Amino acid sequence: MARNTVLRTMHDVGLAAWFGGSLMGAIGLNAAAGAVDEPAQRGRVANAGWDRWTPVNAAAIGAHLVGAAGMLAANRDRVANQEGVGASSVVKTALTGLALGVTAYSRVVGAKVSEAGDVEVASGAEPLADTPEDVAGAQRQLSVLQWAIPAVTGLLIGVTALQGEQQRADEQAQGKLRKAAKRLTGAA
């Protein structure tokens, strides 16, 4: 079995940055913007942080996707012939699509807040009573989305751990035997 160290590193480091950056943003950046004394500057502070993070996050997501696609190609025999690997790959692909969608949508909604300029807000994802309704609505969406991204990418980390377990030699042998047995009984 060939080693895929570069692909695995791209996959894991990209996913770690995607998860960790989004979690830090929810816990740190968005909340810290609320500490700015001038309410009209709070959104600007949060948006400046997210604007700096976006290209790094895009590179991390790209690295993760290249690594994931490369590892899927390298393990195509196991996907086809080891029980459970195909299913975990489908789940991982669906979660990746969901994470991409939530991340992209979050950026679109965040742009609405950013484009509004200096409006009074409580924090990066929390409006005040006098925040304009379009910005307040976007912030209410962001208050959910900021947690959805680390939740979904955290699930991806869990599926990745499962797939690591599936690569153990004893798991491969048992999984391939079970898959072959099912094929034989299905053919009979």
Instruction: Encode the chain (188 residues) as per-residue pLDDT tens digits.
Output: 578 999 999 999 999 999 999 999 999 999 999 999 999 999 999 999 999 999 999 999 999 999 999 999 999 999 998 989 999 999 999 999 999 999 999 999 999 999 999 999 999 999 999 999 999 999 999 999 999 999 999 999 999 999 998 888 888 788 788 888 888 888 76
Residue 188 confidence (pLDDT): 66
The H-or-E segment that residue 126 falls in is strand 126-127
Residue 1 confidence (pLDDT): 58
Q: CB–CB of 146/25 below 8 Å?
A: yes
DSSP 67: H
Rounded Cα gap, residues 80 and 171, in angstroms: 15
* Residue 153: CA count within 13 A, CB half-sphere: 29
Q: CB–CB of 118/85 below 8 Å?
A: no
- Please tell me the pTM assigned to this model: 0.89
The candidate with the shortest Cα–Cα distance to 18, out of 91, 102, 144, is 102
Residue 31 confidence (pLDDT): 95
Buried b (16+ CB within 10 A) or exposed e, 103-124: beebeebbeebbebeebbbbbb
Rounded Cα gap, residues 27 and 126, in angstroms: 13
